[in-house]
Structure 1
Amino acid sequence: MDTTAGGSGGSAPDGEAVPSDAADRRRQQRGWYFYDWACSVYSTSVLTVFLGPYLTDVAKTAADAHGYVHPLGVAVRAGSFFPYCVSASVILAILVMPLAGSAADRTGRKKPLMGAAAYLGAAATTGMFFLDGDRYLLGGLLLIVANASIAVSMALYNSYLPQIALPEERDAVSSRGWAFGYASGALVLLVDLLLFTAHDSLGVSEGTAVRICLATAGIWWGGFAVIPLRRLRDRRKAGPAAAGSGQGWRQLAATVRDMRHHPLTFAFLVAYLVYSDGIQTVISQASVYGAEELDLSQSTLIMAVLLVQVLAIGGALGMGRMARAYGARRTILISLVAWTATLVTGYFLPAGAPVWFFVLAAAIGLVLGGTQALSRSLFSHLVPRGKEAEYFSAYEVSDRGLAWVGPLLFGLTYQLTGSYRTAIVSLIVFFALGFALLARVPVRRAIQAAGNPVPERI
């Protein structure tokens, strides 16, 4: 059982407290960091680097003479198949996440639900080893399952933050979690780069090397997920849990109604929904843009993403320190300006010039981790007590909620114009609108309205 806090302890669900024992808090925080360490490899090696270009090539192999594949009888340009699958995965995640969050708050059993989502996603990722030839439909299915699973598991994982960190600790704890994830992604990506560049000497084809990299990301995800699942503790609810297949949707409806009583929390979620979609789309489509529009090799793309991962570690920690000096909201707003400038620069990058692509990757790395980490910690202050998993499911829905719109816009723009440059620059709207919406949110009043203590600097 958690130690009941006195004095400096923070609030947690059902009147329980964040452990006042610093050693106990640190132990849970270190375990919590390791889920970022485990699953970030999927986001880096699979979604950002290898799967987009590889699945696009598989779809092109299966395409007809006009360059179209026909999933479910619908004509789709092969180059648009990957972003459409990302959109489909997000829609599935949106349907499942609120059910998982409400079930976790209702029963107090987050870990079994988080574990089920984590291992389903890890299994689907490992299964990508069998994606070869013209099996684009298999690739699309595995992508949809894995991407939806990571979204569900992250919603539950994020909801632990208010339970393991005092209010004044959360920016730092959240930033460390993201830094762990980027360090993990960089380490595995470095090994992937060595395997990919040496595939001939190892006696494997380029495609086989890619499939090995995809599968090992799933094995890594599943292996390290054991650590947070052992160290984090559930807070069991007193009394029997409600049952029934419709309970999750009834709880979701109740959550939506409850959020009407917290309009400033809702306003933050809307802003986050918009700019997070831009971030997610840039991450998932950057390799496709580099390979198809800028004519860069797979090795160049891997090195660029490795650069992003390394710089994102320092970026997450550095922006965490900026937040202590200037406040989380102001720091996030600065990062959104940087994102907009990065996309404008990306539009003008010359083809076949890897140096400029590395410069762009460096800019992304410096703001990527901090934007995500500070958004997570800022939201943790806006959650009413006892509703962490439920509200963090809404947060993750916001993280993914319009994330189908960005890839869809990207895919449609390419389908209509045949230009990836036009597709990439169209994403500026998400950062500009997100900035405008976030600038209007009075975060101190929002924290007070949620019934939480206001940190000195927010």
Structure 2
Amino acid sequence: MSAQTTDQAEPGAEDGRAAAAAAAARKREQHGWYFYDFACSVYSTSVLTVFLGPYLTAVAKAAADADGYVHPLGIPVRAGSYFAYTVSASVIVAVLIMPLVGALADRSGRKKPLLAAAAYTGAAATTGMFLLGGDRYLLGGLLLIVANAALAVSMVLYNAYLPQISTPDERDTVSSRGWAFGYTSGAFVLVLNLVVYQGHDSFGLSEGEAVRICLASAGLWWGAFAIIPLRRLRDRAVVREAGPAVSGWKQLIATLKDMRRYPLTLSFLLAYLIYNDGVQTVISQASVYGSEELELEQSTLIVAVLLVQVLAVAGALGMGRLAVRYGAKRTILASLAAWGLTLAAGYFLPARTPVWFFALASMIGLVLGGSQALSRSLFSHLVPAGKEAEYFSAYEMSDRGLSWVGPLVFGITYQVTGSYRDAIISLVVFFALGFVLLARVPVRRAVEAAGNPVPERI
């Protein structure tokens, strides 16, 4: 009798061991996955948010004519708008590449080699920013476009791993931890950048050389820590039949047509593209606003962004906990309301008063990480199985500083009015419209329509 009981227990015990092994393997991949955010977020922080905007603007001004215009490809561009236009132009390159790479990853199941190629292309372009100087604004624009496009492609592949390495109930937590890892690395490297920049005289460096070292160090960091996720993440077998390869534009059109079968997923994506346009434009243009309109020193901007990084870690983890209790949708909506109020406050900031700029940075930090992390995890529930990279290629078009409508609106507003205050307040419409569109999306029905299990809270 006891032998029979033992025989009956063995299958259950075997199932338990298999489940424990699967959970351990999943945790290992999750830990490796976090480190890609740890690797590439330094680019977003040190390069895109802090140093490159003011520096490239100064380089463009050095190359400008007597009227303050540069002429890339013969087009007259106000030097103060050049950085915003370059960020906007980078999405054109990304649009050509991302859908093709996403579809190729889904068809082949080989995300990791593509992730490696994108990561090291971006890291190399960022490291090459050490060569900027004098009036080389065209080189700066080219490197920015390559780095931003490479980051976009890598994030398509990186985000596409999320539904594969986490259960539905883990998504909000895993996504939030990834963002927290990114903000932690951003803060740490920014402290080192602050030491180099503030102490450039004692290191025998000019201010420009210090900035170029900070830019290049982000590329070296990106390349070094990308090794960890590339060692831990694994490719999966394809779950649908392969089809013929098509061009980037055709693949994008095919992806959007396929999304028409999931109109609620498309509705969420539209809302996300709009409000995240605002988020990414604030991130990429805040340092230009601080230096040009508020007349703040570079060291003040670095400290402000460092404050954002520190508070964003707490904000991402805190909003992740709020999402567990109240659902991701409600938490994101609250963050969008906070974003709109923050921009309105930013319009009225007095010049040359760092304390108010620090207060604004604190408000941004508390909502930044959480709104991005929860948007990513919520979208992952709305993607049909087997189309993760393809759908995330469309998602990624407005992420990580690659939104193009926001910077274009910002740049045009400044070009027409000559006021960065008018440019910054013009972004409120992105958060207001995004709020309205997201509020109208029935997310539970959207998850069910995509054929995925519905979490208890969403």
| Global fold match (TM > 0.5) | yes
Q: State the partner residue of 1:224.
A: 225
In the alignment, what sits opposite 1:179? 180
The Cα shift of 1:236 comes to 3.2
Q: Which amino acid aligns with 1:125?
A: T
1:302-451 alignment, distance < 5 Å: 302-399=302-399, 403-451=403-451
Whole-angstrom CA distance in 1 between matches of 2:304 and 2:372? 20
With over 3 angstroms needed to count, the CA separation of the structure-2 counterparts of 1:342 and 1:240, relative to structure 1, is closer
1:159 — aligned with what? 160
Moved over 4 A (4+): 17-20, 238-244, 247-251
The equivalent of 1:83 in structure 2 is: 84
Alpha carbons of 1:83 and 1:252: their partners in 2 closer, same or farther (altered >3 Å)? closer
What secondary structure does 1:452 align onto? coil
Q: 1:270–1:398: 8 Å Cα contact kept in structure 2?
A: no
C-alpha distance in structure 2 between counterparts of 1:84 and 1:253, whole Å? 25
1:37 Cα deviation from its structure 2 partner: 0.1
Shift of 1:258: 1.7
- Residue 31 (structure 2) pairs with residue 22 (structure 1): no
Bigger mean CA offset, 106-115 vs 49-58: 106-115
**How far does residue 149 in structure 1 lie from its aligned partner after superposition?**
0.7
Deviations 1:291-339 (A, max 9, x none): 0000000000000000000000000000000001110000000000000
Aligned partner of 1:305: which letter? V
The answer to whether the 8 Å contact 2:125/2:146 transfers is: yes
CA distance in 2, matches of 1:398, 1:291: 25
Q: Quick check: 2:252–2:394 contact (8 Å CA) kept in 1? A: no
Q: Deviations over 1:358-393 (max 9, x none)?
A: 000000000000000000000111011111111111
Rounded to whole Å, the distance in 1 between the matches of 2:355 and 2:239 is: 59
Are the counterparts in 1 of residues 95 and 249 from structure 2 also a CA contact under 8 Å?
no
Q: Distance in 1 between matches of 2:350 and 2:196?
A: 28
Q: What are the Cα deviations for residues 172-200 of structure 1, in whole angstroms up to 9, with x where unaligned?
A: 00000000000000000000001100001
Match of 1:191 in 2: 192
- What are the Cα deviations for residues 125-177 of structure 1, in whole angstroms up to 9, with x where unaligned? 00000000000000000001001110110011000001100000000000000
AA aligned opposite 2:227 = V
Matched, 1:93 2:94: yes
Mark the structure with the bigger radius of gyration.
2
Change (3 A) 1:18 1:137: farther
How many residue pairs end up in the alignment? Answer: 445
Distance in 2 (CA, whole Å) between partners of 1:189 and 1:155 is 26
Instruction: Please list, as runs of the form range in 1=range in 2, the aligned pairs for 1:241-320 lying within 5 A after superposition.
Output: 244=245, 246=246, 250-320=250-320
> Given that residues 52 and 287 in structure 1 are in contact (C-alpha distance below 8 angstroms), is that contact kept between their aligned partners in structure 2?
yes
Instruction: Note the residue ranges of structure 1 that are not aligned, 5 or more in a row.
Output: 1-5, 9-16
- Local SS of the residue matching 1:111: helix
Q: How does 1:103-118 map to 2 (within 5 A)?
A: 103-118=104-119
For residue 79 of structure 1, report the CA deviation from its aligned partner. 0.3
1: CA distance between counterparts of 2:250 and 2:79? 40
2: distance between equivalents of 1:220 and 1:276?
26
Note closer, same or farther for the CA distance 1:401–1:360 as it changes in structure 2 (3 Å cut).
closer
Residue equivalent to 2:206: 205
Tell me whether 157-166 or 393-402 shows the greater mean CA deviation: 393-402
Tell me, yes or no, if the aligned pair for 1:18 and 1:165 is still in contact at 8 Å: no
Conserved? CA contact 2:316–2:370, under 8 Å: yes
1:19 CA displacement: 9.1
Judge which range, 46-55 or 90-99, deviates more: 90-99
Deviations 1:92-129 (A, max 9, x none): 11221101100000111111111111111100000000
2:430 and 2:102 mapped to 1: Cα distance?
26
Deviation of 1:206 after TM superposition, in Å, equals 0.3
Opposite residue 392 of structure 2, the aligned amino acid is: F
Looking at structure 2, the residues matched to 339 and 280 of structure 1 have their Cα atoms a distance apart, in angstroms, of 12
TM-score, with length taken from structure 1:
0.94
| Superposed displacement of residue 399, structure 1 | 3.3
Q: CA RMSD in A?
A: 2.0
CA 1:349–1:239 in structure 2 vs 1: closer, same or farther (change >3 Å)? closer
Compared CA separation, residues 396 and 290, structure 1 to 2 (3 A): same
Is the CA contact 1:18–1:162 (under 8 Å) kept in the aligned structure 2?
A: no
Counterpart of 2:201 in 1: which secondary structure? coil
1:233 partner letter: R
Is the alpha carbon distance of 1:259 and 1:400 closer, same or farther for their aligned partners in structure 2, counting shifts above 3 Å? farther
* Separation in 2, partners of 1:434, 1:238: 33
The CA distance in 1 between the partners of 2:203 and 2:251, in whole Å, is 54
Deviations 1:381-431 (A, max 9, x none): 101111111111121124379811111111111111010000000000000
- For 2:390 and 2:419, the matched residues in 1 are separated by 41
CA distance in 1, matches of 2:439, 2:401: 20
Please tell me whether residue 132 in structure 1 is matched to residue 133 in structure 2. Answer: yes
| 1:18–1:163 CA contact under 8 A, matched in 2 | no
